[in-house]
A = this chain, B = another copy of it.
């Protein structure tokens, strides 16, 4: 997984909306997705290309249409790599802060 591509893909609200739309109904065409977007079709295409490069979306050509499918695997890997790691110390943080402040002031 290219974590940088995944994070950068998720950084844009339009692309997160595209993922939301595909989550509601998987396998939508470019045209269908554009109906919910309020921007030029060509712009949406670029966003979808970024999502594909991050492996968050796969597409299949069917005739003159292009169908898009969400792929949750990279998101799961982001979770494993990032969220769980930081959650492990969740409970110790207030302790760290308190100790730090107490230990150095009279």
Binding site for B on A (CB under 8 A): 3-4, 7-8, 10-11, 13, 16, 19, 23, 26-27, 58, 60, 62, 67, 69-73, 75-76, 78-79, 82-83, 85-87, 89-90, 92-93, 96-97, 100-101, 104-105
Contacts and interface: CB of A to CB of B under 8 A. Distances in A.
A72 B96 contact: no
Contact of A86 (B7, B70, B100): B70
Total copies of the chain = 2
**Interface residues of A: mostly helix, strand, loop or mixed?**
helix
Contacts of A97: 27, 58, 60, 69
Contacts of A23: 85-86, 89
B70 A19 contact: no
A73 B4 CA distance: 21
A78 B71 contact: no
